[in-house]
Amino acid sequence: SRPKRSIARDFADGVLVAEIIAQVKPFGQCVELHNYNAASNLARKMGNWTALEHKVLRKLKVPLGREEMEAISVGVPGAIENFLGRLRRGLTATAGGRVGTRDGGIDVDGDEEERQQQQRRVPEEQVSSVMPSTENFASVPATKYPELLARRDARVEELEETNEILATKVMKLEQLVRLKDAKIQSLEYQLERANES
């Protein structure tokens, strides 16, 4: 939903985690994205994480304690990576259950082994679709996140530089157009004067 610069900073308010879970079937119906707003101060970040933990993460059996919430919110190195690893495992494990409640609760049912195995594959595919190409949180170990995000950051910087160059070219072309317009007006004025005389 927004350019990614630093995994610790970008995930600090919980919004991206909510968006990721919202994209993963059948868990998406547990997440009401309007409840999670981008935040820069600690209190609002903690509010997002508290709501996410209470309404969603508990159902996924991925509890998040207050200390861990604070660590993620203030960007403690490694905190979000550890949590994302647990979240991925939680999504995969809980896939053996089914969504059957009206309020979006997840009812984990382990009676049919074959059905469980089939359903376990779904979240991996869905989580994979959240991230671009094959480089995603579902298929890449947590230790690789910083490397992937660094590569993406480098690509973003490269595109921003290209954008700046193009913006400069556009500005120069606009200046040329204004100069030509002024010259045309001057010539038209001279032509009118010549015709009058």
85 vs 146: CA distance, rounded Å = 13
85 vs 180: CA distance, rounded Å = 60
| Domain 7-140 part of CATH 1.10.418.10 | yes
Residue 47 pLDDT class (50, 70, 90 cuts):
very high
Query: Is the model more confident about 142 or about 29?
Result: 29
Q: Provide the pLDDT for residue 139.
A: 59
pTM for the full model?
Answer: 0.47
25 vs 126: CA distance, rounded Å = 6
Written as six digits, the tokens of 174 are 């606009």
Q: For residue range 105-134, what is the model confidence (pLDDT) as tens digits? A: 444 333 334 444 444 443 444 444 444 443
156 vs 3: CA distance, rounded Å = 8
93 vs 155: CA distance, rounded Å = 34
| DSSP secondary structure, 78-112, as one string | THHHHHHHHHHHHHHHHTTSEE--TT--EE---S-
